[in-house]
Amino acid sequence: MINFREDGEYLILEYTSDYQPAGWIDTKLSNGGEHTFHRTFTVTQKMLHDPEVGSEDTSDEVRQFVIGRTGDQYRCIDKDVLGLKYDLLISNSMVLRRDLFVAQRDISIFGRIDSLVSEQIVVGGDRDDAIPEAEFAILLKNFPTSTELRKYADARVAQDLSDYFQDMSDAEQRLVKYMDSRKNSRTSIEKVDIPIRTTNELELEKYLFIREKLATMLEDEKGYRESRWQDVVADLFLLIFPQYIAVLHKVNLKESYSDPTKPTKREIDLMLVDANGGVDLIEIKKPFEDKLLARGIYRDNYIPHGELSGTIMQAEKYLFYLSKGGRDIEKTIEEKYRSQLPDGLEIKIANPKSIILHGRDDKLSPKQKFDLGIIRKKYANMVDILTYDDLLRRIDNIIEMLRVRAGV
């Protein structure tokens, strides 16, 4: 947890550890290291502020950092703390709190603004170049919707892929059009309170975009490298299943079951983390149509394709290794991926499952779909087998209900 206070001429960021002593940050900052809270506030050892002797803030759970200076009209926050081009000026009349700086999913508000402008950012006060407090309140209330963030992210992906493919989607144009419409809507203080119906409309826009993006990818899946395919689909998966807040890449662990004479290193490609710190695994395969079921029939039954069977076996082994690793693996993951997770979130490996995203089912016969359902049920206690058509159907159902709720 972070708070802000003033100590004479100094503006102080206070970090309080809710789950463990704050000594871990001392270790990280030693020898010239740095740490970023909420992907927004970057601090170093040189910024540590020593509280007065006898202060209640001298506990092991609290660390204080000088992030700026106070002034007659404005507080000045060091540009390096927020990663800006210029120091940030905020009026003394404004109460400093976390949500003034950090939006949902730890998005840096001033970092986003700084990426769009070339001048110093000034909020409140009497300066002619300042953003008025009332207008900034509107910006905070509307900033930025999930639709805006994901369209921006998708436009960046499209830009990266344009080096390899000439025929790209219109993600960048959609982003510009949507941002322009949002900008035109933020003109009066009355729009601070966004009706629930409008929120449903924005969610509808988000899922329409996800649907279009996924469908476009499926039409051109051969044009994607496997690593790029996994990265983009993993980001979309977080939107489709919002209980997950992060996806971790290349998670290493050691096990001594396959070879009792020595530890064996294993690498999990993708690990999902939910809002409570629970983890699941996900295997993202490219959507080949003929990789779900074997071509032949065994005693009038369709059986899993060899690739699907191998993926299931690998997933079950990784789940076994994870469950046997105990707190040591949890701590290893927390330490390695701390910068990608919310501050203080503890990883909990408790009955993890594996999600296998594999293949298409739109061309399967009714009997093949029935047998695939039996296969799914067989492994359902540990593994969820999803097809890309399952994702499309889920998105379509969400879109249909959002249309009803939004009245469109």
| pLDDT score recorded for residue 300 | 86
- List pLDDT tens digits, range 166-193: 444 555 455 455 555 555 554 444 444 4
Collapsed DSSP state (helix, strand, coil) of residue 195 = coil
Averaged pLDDT for residues 300-315:
90
Angle at 399 between CA 396 and CA 402, to 5 degrees: 155
φ/ψ (deg, to 5) at 70: -95, 160
Instruction: Indicate whether 244 and 355 sit together in one domain.
Output: yes
**Whether the predicted pLDDT of 329 surpasses 70:** yes
Contacts of 24 (CB under 8 A, 6+ apart): none
Averaged pLDDT for residues 282-300:
84
Instruction: Indicate whether 81 and 159 sit together in one domain.
Output: no
| pLDDT score recorded for residue 208 | 92
Distance separating the N- and C-terminal Cα atoms of the chain:
41
Nearest to 148 by CA among 192, 111, 178: 178
Domain closes at, from 107, 142, 177: 142
**Residue-range definition of the domain harbouring residue 242:** 146-406
Instruction: Indicate whether 138 and 271 sit together in one domain.
Output: no
Contacts of 227 (CB under 8 A, 6+ apart): none
Higher pLDDT, 345 or 142: 345
Instruction: Indicate whether 91 and 202 sit together in one domain.
Output: no
Lowest mean pLDDT among 262-266, 271-275, 393-397: 262-266
Domain count along the chain:
2
Instruction: Indicate whether 231 and 256 sit together in one domain.
Output: yes
Domain closes at, from 89, 108, 142: 142
Instruction: Indicate whether 237 and 131 sit together in one domain.
Output: no
Contacts of 60 (CB under 8 A, 6+ apart): 21, 22, 23
| pLDDT score recorded for residue 407 | 74
Instruction: Indicate whether 217 and 362 sit together in one domain.
Output: yes
Instruction: Indicate whether 87 and 182 sit together in one domain.
Output: no
Phi-psi label, residue 378: left if phi above 0, alpha if psi -120 to 50, beta otherwise: alpha
- List pLDDT tens digits, range 47-84: 998 754 334 444 567 899 999 999 999 999 999 999 99
Higher pLDDT, 252 or 187: 252
Instruction: Indicate whether 96 and 162 sit together in one domain.
Output: no
Instruction: Indicate whether 367 and 267 sit together in one domain.
Output: yes
Instruction: Indicate whether 112 and 211 sit together in one domain.
Output: no
φ/ψ (deg, to 5) at 397: -65, -40
Please tell me the pTM assigned to this model: 0.53
Domain closes at, from 117, 142, 167: 142
Nearest to 92 by CA among 123, 130, 64: 123
Instruction: Indicate whether 137 and 158 sit together in one domain.
Output: no
Averaged pLDDT for residues 283-297:
83
Cross-strand bridge partners of residue 272: 247, 280
